[in-house]
Amino acid sequence: MPEPLSDDFGREVTGVRISLTDRCNFDCVYCHNEGLGDTRGPMEPSENEMTADEIVRFLEVVEGYGVDSVKFTGGEPMLREDLEEIIRRTPDSMEVSMTTNGTFLPGRAEDLKAAGLDRVNVSQDALDPEAFAEITESGAYERVLEGVEAALDAGLAPVKLNMVVFEHTAGYVEGMVDHVAKNDGLQLQLIEYMPELTGKPEWNIDIDRVHDWLADVADRVEHREMHDRKRYYISDDGTAPDVDLDGGAVDANHPDAAGTGMVEIVDPVENETFCANCGRVRVTHEGYLKGCLNRNDDLRSMGEMTREEIAETFEAVVANRVPYYGEYLVEGEDGEYEFNEKYLATPSAD
């Protein structure tokens, strides 16, 4: 395997995250569309979406730069009818994962697994159908549950459930933790809400309260040096205490037991170590490369997407990465987010 490219801060880029479409059958209230904002249009395929040939050509080029993993995202990537073909043609050296809302997994999960999909993240922000409908503006709750089961049956375990933690969902965290603790094959990924990308700072909650609660109810806590993340292993014995994540007291007398559910928090906003270990760049559905989720001024087109253009663009984007999420977009004294002028002179999309 070739040596990966490193940016100016010593971070090796070993993964890519490719948006296959900005179309989605959900309209989640917190969606930031891979940092691009709410750009979603009609549900019909767009001429601007990268073709399967272009996606595969990109992957073949970056494989030569030591990239060994790819995550397919959207919008909803399963709206691509050629998804199985794309996965099948992905270089064998790459681990292949996907983030989806799960509604199209029934009937397709086995084919995706056979095509080479290794694992899947399913967005699920609540266990109550009415709460789920309010957050996603979709009535597909039962279909999502069927999708999770289909993924497990197809051998895509463990299935990670993605839950964005903000004002609308904080009250459902405990139920979701209990759910994954009681169901084999499921893990929970609690994702810190990013107010600077969605324009609703009033929806933010203190993610440290979630960390503190999990630390009190967990049977075991594992620290991952990568991204400075903690993994919390929760018992399925039903003894987790009730808690108000917006400020209530926590019962610390949770008995030790064999942990069965794994919960992880993705908290990049104030976590410098998260970015210090980031080894991934992103590709938009239109074929632009970007070095960081919360930047749009560094978008670089791959032109006609010849192999030479892809290689040149990939090298440039890696070289142009910023050191830390919070160093580019900084919260000012008035609570508004401001751009760090140090990075505003960087090239934008062609």
Residues of the binding site for GTP: 17, 71, 99, 160, 280-282
Residue 12 burial (10 A CB sphere; 0-12, 13-18, 19+): middle
- DSSP assignments along 85-96, one per residue: HHHHHS-TTSEE
Report the SS3 class of residue 233: strand
Angle between helices 52-63 and 307-319 (to 10 degrees): 60
DSSP β-bridge partners for residue 6: 12
The binding site for [4Fe-4S] cluster consists of 24, 28, 31, 275, 278, 292
The binding site for S-adenosyl-L-methionine consists of 30, 75, 123
Residue 56 burial (10 A CB sphere; 0-12, 13-18, 19+): middle
The binding site consists of 17, 24, 28, 30-31, 71, 75, 99, 123, 160, 275, 278, 280-282, 292
- C-beta separation of 191 from 176 below 8 A: no
First to last CA, the chain: 32
